[in-house]
């Protein structure tokens, strides 16, 4: 292919040289010169078309390289934009955490979620604070939206938090609207249920559930979630309710441990 292009180029060069010679020569008679020009006219037209195409193609290599550099720059800028979005989201979340700490009536220790217990993946988390950070066992753990759980185990630099969705978790709660009490228990499907609701209670979907403040672990009036469905099980002397937690516990990144 390359040899063919080389031959074509040589032929075009020869034609161009002959044409120039004929046009500029003073020894060649005018009629002969005209005949030669007529014979070479189609070749000249092809050569001119080839040269015009060649001129159009010549800048393409430079344009391709410029486009490659521009695309690389665009990719870099897009990556920086995404990184800035993440930083901005983190800053907003930390500001919300700081502002929330100022509104609650007890001292808290902020901590970052660094993992989940492999043996209990959905219902417990690991945080980056322990005894050295002031974390104490059996203290409530919150998020900016509501109750998360309690400190179950404390190490020197990390702690394990039992979430309220764990079947081993039990929290004294009440309906905020009518102050009807009950017990919040976790379920194997990572949800919660409020049990021991009086049969004559008018609890209904949408009611907010808060901590009742029984015992020393969970302070009073912390938001837990809201009622999704009310059930009356046959043979039971009480109602129960499915509760949607205020916080999506599967997406926790930062928490606050009550001191």
DSSP letters, 93-137, are: HHHHHHHHHHHSSS-EEEEEEEEE-GGGTTTEEEES--GGGT--T
Lowest-pLDDT range of 14-18, 144-148, 189-193, 211-215: 14-18
> Is the dihedral angle over the CA atoms 232, 233, 235, 240 positive or is it negative?
negative
pTM of the entire predicted model: 0.64
pLDDT for 29 beyond 90: no
The first and second tokens of residue 154, run together, are 């404390």
For residue 64, the model assigns a pLDDT of: 75
Report the mean per-residue pLDDT for the chain.
80
For residue 237, the model assigns a pLDDT of: 87
Mean per-residue pLDDT for 174-186?
95
CA distances from 239 to 6, 23, 235 (A): 93, 110, 11
pLDDT for 253 beyond 80: yes
45-100 residue pLDDT tens:
555 565 566 555 556 667 777 778 888 888 877 887 777 776 666 666 666 666 66
15 alpha carbon, distance to own chain's centre: 66
| Torsion of the alpha carbons at 166, 169, 171 and 173, rounded to the nearest 10 | 30
Lowest-pLDDT range of 85-89, 101-105, 125-129: 85-89
The answer for 134, left when phi > 0, alpha when psi is -120 to 50, beta otherwise, is: left
For residue 178, the model assigns a pLDDT of: 93
Give the confidence band of 138 by pLDDT, cuts at 50, 70, 90: very high
Of 136, 202, 214, 201, the residue nearest 170 (C-alpha): 214
152 Cβ contact partners less than 8 Å away, ≥ 6 residues apart = 124, 137, 159, 160, 161, 162
φ, ψ at 201 (rounded to 5°) = -75, 145
Residue of higher predicted confidence among 152 and 21: 152
The first and second tokens of residue 232, run together, are 């009356």
């Amino acid at each position: 292919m390359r040899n063919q292009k080389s031959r074509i180029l040589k032929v075009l060069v020869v034609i161009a040289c002959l044409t120039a010679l004929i046009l500029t020569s003073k020894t060649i008679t005018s009629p002969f010169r005209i005949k030669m020009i007529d014979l070479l006219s189609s070749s000249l037209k092809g050569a001119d078309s080839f040269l015009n195409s060649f001129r159009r193609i010549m800048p393409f290599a430079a344009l391709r390289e410029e486009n490659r550099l521009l695309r690389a720059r665009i990719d870099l800028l897009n990556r920086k934009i995404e990184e800035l979005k993440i930083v901005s989201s983190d800053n907003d979340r930390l500001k919300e955490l700081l502002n929330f700490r100022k509104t609650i009536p007890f001292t808290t220790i902020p901590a970052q979620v660094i993992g989940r217990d492999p043996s209990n993946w959905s219902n417990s988390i690991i945080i980056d604070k322990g005894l050295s950070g002031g974390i104490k066992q059996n203290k409530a753990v919150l998020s900016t939206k509501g109750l998360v759980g309690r400190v179950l185990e404390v190490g020197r630099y990390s702690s394990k938090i039992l979430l309220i969705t764990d079947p081993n978790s039990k929290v004294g709660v009440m309906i905020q609207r009518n102050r009807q009490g009950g017990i919040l228990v976790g379920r194997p499907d990572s949800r919660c249920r409020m049990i021991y609701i009086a049969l004559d209670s008018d609890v209904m979907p949408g009611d907010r559930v808060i901590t009742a403040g029984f015992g020393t672990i969970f302070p009073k009036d912390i938001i837990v979630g809201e009622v999704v469905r009310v059930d009356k099980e046959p043979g039971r002397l009480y109602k129960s309710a499915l509760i949607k937690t205020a916080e999506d516990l599967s997406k926790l990144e930062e928490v606050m441990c009550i001191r």
